[in-house]
Homo-oligomer: A and B are copies of this chain.
Amino acid sequence: LSKEKWFSRLEEIVGAEYVLYPTHDDFSKYEHDETEDLKFPPTVVVRPDDARQVQEIVKLAASEKIPVVPRGGGTGLSGGALAVRGGILLTLERMNRILEIDDQNFFAVVQPGLITQVFQETLEARGLFYPPDPASRGSCTIGGNIAENAGGPRALKYGVTKDYIYGLKAVLANGEAVTFGGKRLKDVTGYNLVQLLVGSEGTLGVVTEATIKLLPFPKYHRTLLAPFQSVQKAAESVPAIMQRGIIPCALEFMENDALKAIENYRGVKVRFSDYPALLLIEVDGNNEDVLDEEIQSIAEVLETNDVSDVFVAENAAQQKEIWDLRRSAGEAVKSISPYKEEDTVVPRSKLPELVAGIHQICDRWGLRAISYGHAGDGNLHCNILKSGLSDEKWEKELPLAAEEILRLTVSLGGTISGEHGIGYTQKRFLPLAMKEAELEVIRSIKKALDPDNILNPDKAVY
């Protein structure tokens, strides 16, 4: 078909008002996501309203061999939603309905364009809980969370997105609409195709519906801040807490520079901002006495690890204040200068080595790095700042420093992305984490399910 023909076919499928061309006012927002300053204009943006429309779009793309790039909230940090070869940007934002909340079986059925925070708050009002909690929850979508297998601070106790996705409807590259899994806590019927799609970054199918496991909403929280004189001591506290049988619902880490960055960015004094390392620890549950005991027990553990001080939030307002500060760490650090973020993850006992190693590497390259992240699960967000560096030096040396950091991460038993995905920007680093025979498995699955490389080309697969 001529370009005009498939444009008009798209207009037939979704309605003319839901096909956006480059002249459209809103078009530019679909050229980028939240990954650095990358920009890739798609040929056309299509906004379907239901699974049948998605299927028709993919069928058209398959027969014309046009790339299809699925997109959720556009908050991705590895370029997963960028139309790097042009083609059809398929945004799922109109498909944002909660189709069912089943409080007999503790499952919800939702469309992919649903905003994560809207989902969480709707559930909370009914005493139900969906734990995955990416920092972008106010604007990211469940579909995007599924594509990237999004994480967040509650992973230690509650797991990540994959642990809640029990069923998916999707459109495959061949245009077939399929259903994998469902409202079943146990299911061994064939390969685990639900988990093959979760985290596949839209390269194997476009998710049109998800069946999500829910939990009862925990009634109470206790939140504690603990400053340390060293990253080492902070990190050593974590297994000691677990060994007391306590699994905190959050165990966050910030180094001093991150605290200072928050202070400057927000223009407020941040508690304990003069200490080298800070832990934020939260426990949740349905019994306040137990939570008070747990906080007491955690404080005892911290004492034996030379904690410098302990602050327990006295009320919900103080808890919110602490979390607002923690959540602003990313923005604060990134406001300092152009940056490159690495989403490193290691076994949590290796966190001190990782933090120290990152500083050594950056010192050697004359770069500055600021790290914060999830101490409970070893997922450290390391922001390398350009600061005073010349453009030339930054462009030449940053990739070399970044590669050294990722090599160090892998050498510590970690890997190159904990929760941001491989997408477009991290793809070339995949060989640091995987051998050729392992990469070949990914390639051969992609080829088996999408031989013409229609779905989100140049992502995830190396």
Contact = CB atoms under 8 A, between A and B. Distances in A.
Interface centre among A103, A185, A347, A418 (most CB of B within 10 A): A185
A212 interface: no
A316 interface: no
Given A347-B105, A347-B107, A413-B182, A418 B239 contact: no
Interface stretch (A113-121, A226-234, A265-273, A437-445): A437-445
Interface stretch (A32-40, A195-203, A333-341, A388-396): A195-203
A345 B286 contact: no
Interface string A179-201: 11011111111111101101110
Interface string A364-396: 000000000010111100000000000000000
Contacts of A415: 182, 184, 187, 189
A16 interface: no
B242 A190 contact: no
A176 interface: yes
Contacts of A319: none
Contact of A438 (B148, B180, B183, B376): B180
A160 B176 contact: no
A156 interface: yes
Contacts of A178: 435, 437-438, 441
Contact of A243 (B127, B287, B417): B127
A289 to B, nearest CB: 8
Contact of A420 (B174, B188, B418): B188
Given A184-B347, A377-B185, A219 B245 contact: yes
A247 to B, nearest CB: 7
Interface in A404-455: 413-422, 430, 433-435, 437-442, 444-445, 447-449
Contacts of A193: 438, 441-442
Taking residues whose C-beta sits less than 8 angstroms from the other chain, chain A's interface range is: 35 or more
Contacts of A421: 188
Copies of this chain assembled into the complex: 2
Contact of A184 (B103, B215, B378): B378
Nearest to A286: B245
Nearest to A193: B441
Given A445-B448, A449-B441, A449-B444, A218 B190 contact: no
A433 B347 CA distance: 39
A192 B184 contact: no
B191 A151 contact: no
Given A176-B437, A245-B216, A441-B449, A418 B199 contact: no
Contacts of A260: none
Contacts of A246: 216, 286
A335 to B, nearest CB: 25
A263 interface: no
A163 interface: yes
A186 B445 contact: no
A102 interface: yes
A349 interface: yes
Count chain B CB atoms within 10 A of each CB in A172, A190, A193 and give the residue with the most. A190
A460 interface: yes
A163 B163 contact: yes
A304 interface: no
A400 interface: no
Nearest 4 Cβ contacts at the A-B interface: A195-B195, A186-B418, A185-B377, A176-B437
25 contacts: A102-B347, A102-B349, A106-B242, A160-B185, A172-B437, A182-B347, A184-B345, A184-B413, A185-B378, A187-B417, A187-B418, A188-B421, A190-B438, A190-B439, A191-B199, A191-B442, A191-B445, A195-B195, A195-B196, A216-B244, A216-B246, A287-B290, A444-B449, A445-B449, A447-B448
